[in-house]
Structure 1
Amino acid sequence: MDRILRLNEFFVEGGKQHISHVLLHISEPTTPEEIAKGYFFAVCEINNAEPKYFTKIKDLIDRAGNDYYETADANDKNALELVLEKLNQEALTLVDTGLEIHCIIGAIRQPEITFTYYGKPQVLVFYKNHQGVYQSIDLVEANSDNKDAPTQLFSHIIQGKISSNDFLFAGTPHIGEYFSTDRLQKIITSRPAVQSAQHIERVLSEIKNGHSFGGLIIHIDRADSGPIPIRKAPVVKGASSKSLHSLFNREQSTANTLSPSILPRLKTLFGRNSNTPETPVAVATKTYQPAEINASHISHRDTGHAGATKELAFYQLKSVLAALFRAIIFTGKTIALILVVLYGIIYSAFLNSVLLVFAITNYQNRRQHILETWRKQWHSNKENIRRLPTITKVLFFAAILAAGGIAVSIAAIKYRQTQAAHDKQFKTVVQQIKNKKDAMESALIYKDDQAAQTEFVSAEELFGRLECLSKEEKATCAELQNQFDEFDIKIRKITITEPELLFEWKNGIELTNVVKVNTKLISFSANTSTLFIFDLLSREEKIIASGAHLGFVKANVPKENDYALFNTSLNNFFKFDPADSTIKPVNVKFSNEQTSIADFLIYNRRLYTLDTLNNQVYKHDGVKNGFEQGKEWIKDGTLVKDGQELTIDGDMYILKNSGLITKFTAGISQPFSMVSLIQSVGKNASLWTYTDLQYLYILDPDNKRLIILEKDGRIKQQLVSEMITRPTGFAIDPTNNIAYILDNNKLLKIILPQ
C-alpha cells in the first residue's frame, strides 16, 4: 500500500536567545536519487550560550544535510553514519567548550528512520497495541545507560521502522516541563498530526518565559504489517556499541506482543553476544512516495544538475508551445463555427422580421403571399419530420432527453461541488473562529488584554465571512454570535448600571455641562449666562443670573472645593462662591493677544489653560484679583492644537479630538495608549482625574458610556445604561465614589464600582 510521510513542525521563539535558542532543519530532496535517501532533519536546543555558537551549530547542520545527500552508502555504513563521523570531527571544539546542547539528527527513508542524539532531548514513540490502546516508549530514557563519548557529539545511532499507527515525537527538553508524556500521547494520538503540532505550538507560545521550543511530529498514513526492527549501531570505532537491549528487555513481556510496528525483533537482532559482529539489516527495494511537510524551517535542495535542468526546461517549453499551437487552432475553428452559426441565426431573424413587418403592414399586398410561404414551410417541416424513420425519431428524442439529463447532471454536480466547497469553507472558518476563541480565553486568563482584543477583532472579521445558509449553519452562527456577545462584554469590560434620576431641568434651555462644588451641582450652557443649581442636601433647585454677556463654555473646581471658575467663548472668566451663591468676574492675563482656550484646570491653586490657537499650555500663578500672565508649560513642542480636554494629577493628560490621550511629565510628552479599547473614544468627550486618584474618567457622548481607565492605559470598566442617551457633561465625587452625569437636561447619579 502507498505510504505518505507527514512531517509536522512546531516552533516557538522565546525572545531571549542568551537563555535558550532552538534550531530546526528539514531538507526536502528533489531528484529521484535524493528522494530514495529520504528526508534529513535536525532539532537542536542550545542553552546559555553566545550567539556565535548558534551560527556555528547551524552551519554544521546545514553542511551535514548537504553531505548526507552527496555521500553514498558504504558496505558497512550508511550515509548518515559517514556524515556523523565527519560532523564529530568538525564539532570537536564544541564539546571542549562545555556547551549545554540537546540535539537530534536523523533521516527518514519510508518507513525506516535513523537518528542520533546528544544531551537529553525528547524522543518518544506512541504505538497502538493489539487491543487498540496507545502506549509510549521514551527512547532517550531507555538508552540512558549508553553514555555520550566525551570527545564526540554523536557516538551512537538508533534505527527502526514506524507504521501508520505510530507517531514519533522529537522535541527540545524544556517541552517536558509543560507537557507530560501522557498528555503528549493524548494530544498526538487523538487528532491529525498537523493539528497536534498547532495545538502544542499555541500552548507553548503562551508561556513567555524566555525559553524557545521546537520539535517534529512524524507519522506515516499507511504502512505494511509485520515485525518492525530497531537496531543501534556505532558511528565510529570505539564509540558506544551497546544496543537498545535494556529498553526492549523491559518491554519484552508486554509490548512485544501488543504492537509489531516499532518494537524490535529481539531474538534475531539483539539476542546476540555483544562481541558478535553486527550484520546490517537488509532493506527491500521499494518505491518512495512523496511527503507532506508542514514546516517553516524547510531547506530545498539545490541539485546543481544544470544540463538536466536545461534539457527538462527545453522539453517543457516545446510541449507548452505545441499545446499552445493546438489550442490556437482549436480556438480559431470554434470561433469560425460560432460566427457562421451566429450569422445564420441573425440573417434568419432579420429576414423573418422584415417579412413580419411586411405581413403586418400588407406592404405591396404581399401579406397573403408571406403567410402562404410560412404555411408551406411549416407544412414541409412537419412532413419531413413525419417521413423520418421511427428509429431516427426515437434516437432524436433520446438525444434530447440525454442532453437534458446531462445538463441536469452537470447542474447537479456543479451544485454539489459548490455546496461541498461551501461546507468545507464554512467548517474551516468555524474552526478558525473556535481557535481564536480558545486564544481569547487563554489571553483573558493571563490578563493579556491586548492579545485578547487582537484575537477578538480577528475572530469578528472571520465571522463576517461566514455564509449561514442551511438551518444547521444558521444555528451555528447564532451560537457563535452569542459567544461573541459574551466575549465582547468580557473584553471590553462593560458593566450595565442603573442610574438614579436626581432632577430634570424643564426650563426650555438646553444645558450642556455640569460641575460640582461643595454640595451643589451647577448646570450651565454656552447659550445662556444663567447658572442652574441643584443642592444635593436640600434637593432644591436655584437659578442665578451671572450678568455675563455670553454663556459659559467650561468650568472647574479646585481640590479645596471652595469655589468654581467658569469661562466664556471670549476667554472671560467668572468665579462662583458657593457660600453666598455669588458670581464675579476675575482677571486672567495672557501673553498673546489672540488666544483660544479649549479647556482649563485649577491645580495647587494655579490655573492651567490649554490654548489651541498657539499650541501651548500656560501656567498662571494666583494673585488677589485672579491669575497673573501665564508661562509656557509645554517644553518639547508637542502638537496640542487638536486638544479639547485637560486634566492633571501631577502628570498632565490632554484628550484630543481624535479620542487619543497625550501624557506630559514636567512639560515633556510621554508614551501613552489606551489598551483593549476596541471602540475608540468619539468627539466631544470629557476627561477628569486628580492627585491620589487611581483612575482616569472619560465621558464618551458619541458611544453613550463612562470609561474608567487605569493610568497605565488599561481599561478598568465601561459603564453603560439605557438611561444614558445624550450625555453632555459629568462630575466625579471621588470621596463618595459617585459620578453625576448631565443627560438631556437630566441629572443622573451613578454609584461607581469599587
Structure 2
Amino acid sequence: MVPFLKAAQYEPKSPNEHVEGVSVILPLEGRSGYVFVLAYLGKKNPDNEILLQLLSDHTHRLAGSFGKDANAQHRFEQFLGALNETISQTVREGRFSVPIQNFHAIVGIICEDRMFLSGTGELSALFLHRKPSQRYQVFNLFRGIQTEQSLPTWEKPFAVVLDGDLEDGDVFCVSQKDLQRFISTDDLNSILTALPPKSATEKIRQYFGANDGLLLLIIKAESAISMVPESYAKPLSDVSIDSFVRGQDETSRLLDDQKPDLVGFFKMHTLFFFKKLTERSRILTDLQRGEPRRKILFKLLLSVGHNLWKTIRHTFKGISFATTTLIHKERRTSFLQSIPTIPARIKQIWLVQIQRFKSLPNRTKRFVLLFVGLLLILVIGLTLLSRMRSASETQKQFEQKISTIQDVIDRAGGAMIYRDENQARTLYQQATSLIQQIPITKPTDQDAVNKLTKNIETAMNELRHVVTIPNPALLAKLDTGSAEQKGVRMVRSGALFYAIDASQIIWQIDPATKQTKTLSPNPISTEPIVDVSEEDGHIFALSRGNQIYDINVKTAEVSTVSITHSSNDAIVSLLAYASRLYVLRQSANNTDAEIIKFTKSSTGYGSGTSWISSKTKALQNPRALTIDGSLYVLYGTENVSRFQNGAEVGWQLGIVEPVLTEPTRIWTDANSAFLYILEPISKRLIVYNKATGAFVTQYTSETFTALADVLVDEKTQTIYLLSGADIYTISAGHLKH
C-alpha cells in the first residue's frame, strides 16, 4: 500500500532568525509526493541571493510541471541535469562568486513510495526506518553522498544520486544544524517518530536560541487512516443521517413502482412463451404424467432417428435426381429451361409462407415475432460484445506498446542528459523500429504515434546537431519590378555582394542598406553561367561552353579570358587566386577530373599546366572546388579530397546524418577554421572542422527551396545563402561556442 505522506518545514517567526539559506517543500502536481530543496551558504555574500533564487526557481518549475503519469526517476534525473547545467553556466558567466566550500545543499523528490535525492557539502540528513519489530534504525544519508562524491566543483555540484523505498512509519529530516549534537538521540528520535511533522519542527526549534537561524524539513510516511470500529456509540448526527438515507431509499422505491418496467414486460411474455411451449411438448407432458423414463427416452430416440433418416433419404434422393438430370439430355434441357423461373417460384413460396403466417392465431404470431426479436437482440448483442471485447483488447495492446516505446524514449532522454550520444541514438532507433510495428486502427492511435514520432525526430535532430531556422532573415531579392530573377551564383568583392541570375545579368547587393541594382542591363553571356570567382575587384564567370569572362566591378566592363584547353573536356568549376586561374576539368567519359592552373602574364593566361601531381583515387563526378592555400575538391556524393602543392594529403570528412547524396557547392577561405558544403536537395548547409574533417553542425530551413550558393562572413558570424531570387542571412551559431 502506498503510504500517506505528511510534510512540514520550519518558518522563521522574526527577522532576527535570518539565515543565509533557503528551504522549499512543494507538493507534486497530480501525484502523492513532494519536491524539496534545502541550501545553506554559511557566510554572508551579496551573490548568495542569486544562487538561492536559482535553486528555488528550478524546484517550483519541477513541482508545477510534474504530471500524474510522469516517471519520478526520469524527471529527477532531468531536473538534476538542468540544475547542474544552469549553475555551471551561471558561474562561467560570472553572475555570482561563491566558494564551493561554502555551498551546502540537498535536493530531492518523494513520490508515493520512492525517494530520490542528491546533495553537496555538509548537512544533517537523517532517515529513520521503522523495522517490523517497531524499532527504528537511523541513517545519516549525507555520509553516503560524501562517500561517493569526489571533491565538489561548480561544473557538477550535484553529482551523486541516492534512491530508496519509503514505507509506513519512515521519517526523513534534513537541517543545516547537526541535530544529533544539540538534541539527545532518544529525544530526537521520539520527537520525529511520535509527533506530526508540523509539531516536530516547532518542538525541535525550542532546543536552539531565539536568534539562531534554523532551516528544517521533515517528511513522514504514515499508513492510511484505518476504519473506525462498528462497536462505537453512534452520535445523534449519525442516527439522523441513517434515518435520512433510509427515507430516501424508500422514496426512490415508491417512485420506481410508477415507472414503466420494460424488463418486467419482457420477463412476463418470456415466461408465458415458455409456458406455452411446455404445454405443447409431448415429452414434458409425459414427464408430468409420470411415464417411465425409459419409455420417454425411447420415444425421443425414435423421433430423432426418424427425422435423421428422413433427412438422409431426402439428401440422397436430391443427389440422385441431380445426377440423373445432368446425365440425361432431356432432363438437363428441361432443368436449364426452368432456371429463369426460379425467382418467380421463390417469390411464390415466400408469398405462401407469408399467407400461412397471417393465418396463424394472433397469440402465435406474437410469440413468433417475440422469439425472432429476442434472437436478433441476442445475435446483435453477442456481435457487439465480441467487437467491444476485441477493440478493448486491441486498445490495451496498443497502450502497452505505446508505454514500452515511451519507456525506451525516456531511457534515451536520460542517456542524452549524461551525453552518451551513441546509447541515445541506439535507443531512439529502437523506438522508431517499435513504432513501425504498431498497427493503426483509429485516428486517435495515429495521433499518438505521430506525437511519438515527432518527439523522436526532434531528439534525433539534436543528436544530429541539426539547427532548424524557421524564418531566416531576408537580405535582398533579385527583382526587376516586373519579375523575379532566379540566382545561380554569388561572390563577394569588398563590402558588396554580386549575384548572377539565370539570364546572365549581374546584380550588385549592398548588405548595409539592403539595396539591389543591376551592374549592367546587358547579359554577360548567351550561355548559362556555371561558376564564378572574385579577385582584386574582378569577377571571373565560367559559362557552360567553357568560356571565361572577366567583369570589372568598378567599370562594369566585360571581357573574355583566352585560355587553351581541350574542347572535349568540360570545365565544371574555377577559382581566381594569387593571379592564377584554377579550373576543375572533367574528363570526356566522366571517370576522372584534373585541375589545370593558368598563370596570368602580360599577354593573358595562355596555356595551362596540370596542377595535381599525385592522388589516391579518381575524382569521378566532380562538382566544385575551393581554396585557402590548399585546394579542396568536392566530387561524387560525399567525397572531398585535399591537395597541397599538387599532392593529395590524408584527410576525409566525418560522418553526418543523413548522409550527403547530392552536394553542389563547397566554401572556405584562409581565415576560416571550417569547411562549408551546400546540399540543395535536403535544404541544408553542413559545417565541418577543416583541420580534422570532423562534422560540426548543419543548418536547415523549409524556406531554402532552391539553394544555389553560400558565402560566410565569420567576423560578423553571418552566413549568406542564395536561394532562388532571395538572399537570406542566418547566424553562424557554431562560431559562438
Q: TM-score range by the shorter chain?
A: 0.3 to 0.5
TM-score (norm 2): 0.46
Question: Rg larger in 1 or in 2?
Answer: 2
More helix as a share of residues: 2
Q: Bigger relative contact order, structure 1 or 2, given CA contacts below 8 A and separation 6+?
A: 1
TM-score (norm 1): 0.45
